[in-house]
Structure 1
Amino acid sequence: MTVRLVIVDDHPVVRDGLRGMFVEQADLEIVGEAGDGAEGLAVAVREQPDVVLTDLRMPGLGGAEFIGLLTARVPSAQVLVLTTYDGDDDVLPAVAAGAIGFLLKDSPREEVFRAVRAAAAGETVLSPAVAARVLRRVRDPAPRAAELSEREHTVLRLVAGGATNKEAAAALFISETTVKTHLAHIYTKLGVSDRAAAVATAYTRGLLP
């Protein structure tokens, strides 16, 4: 059986490289490609591939939002992520949105071929580093308060109280850039991607009174 494949990546060089790789595989056929999520969704709807091999961070539509729309619009297609990013903010939302596999771009080509074939067969494929992250989150789904530093707690409390970055910086006698850095660390530790989610998650987990 030939596996029909669509490639979605905003870097033409990456798409060219993947195309060159797959042309050597008689049972893997590229039936379409796209440079962003919106185009990728249109191509997938038109071609109805077995597997969509996609990057995560792309201009416009990308990441978990793209994967969620794709799995809803083309439920027969399996989504396999091939990216350079393996942080919790990348891996977990992608898996939750419906991705069946997650590989890093430095994976050997034979591993990529095996992953595409496995995905087409409905098998979950995770690189070792990604699998470790998923297992860690499953075993400890709620990070403890101790994971946030004292200053991060302070910044989080100010944000929860409605303070802007500028106001938080003034209150703590630090720069806005430093506040943004603290927020980035907070987002990573809480597994969220914005201020509202950070505050909501912090209340849910008892990190804020």
Structure 2
Amino acid sequence: MQYWILAAPAAAVLALAFALFFARRVLKMPEDKGAGRIAAIIRKGANAFLKRQYLVVAVFFVCMFAVLGVLALVGFVGPFMPFAFVTGGIFSGLSGFLGMKIATAANARTATACKNSLNKGLRAAFSAGSVMGLVVVGLGLADISVWYFVLKGFYGIAGSGLTEAQFIATNMVTFGMGASSMALFARVGGGIFTKAADVGADLVGKV
């Protein structure tokens, strides 16, 4: 057995374990009452944004799954492509959800830590930022690893004249398309949401 192929899933588990460690460290930090009250309002707004965005994105992914499903039925694309596209979007959306949760939980704690020392504030901010990066890497590697082993197992059944490398690569590309589509919606939707918040803050300041 080629043990090197286990490096990616092992790295995924390690990344997610470190993400959990840093998240627990951040959540154990004290939070000032005043800052915590403001942070709770921010969390409420962030949750409303995520709920609305993911509902819209879900419609897009259902439509794309249907389109890719029809193309798979007529033999234009591989049978696994619709599912790879959806799982890419799900894992990308999960990364964004967890990142938003830890970011909104860390802002007040970072401000509180900075009252004591800049070093503690830096550690809080660095730990919170590390969670998002490690979650993205960990979930990405986990999904790719699962698809690699699934496609490797089904190659003899659905290979259809392609080499094993071609069969795996052409299906796994769709995973990246799904993840990128979710990231695109998050980028555009997040920009619109933050701009609306800026305009609202300007109006409140002027009034």
Q: TM-score normalised by the shorter chain: which range applies?
A: under 0.3
Return the TM-score normalized by structure 2. 0.23
Q: Which has the higher strand share?
A: 1
Structure number with larger C-alpha Rg:
2
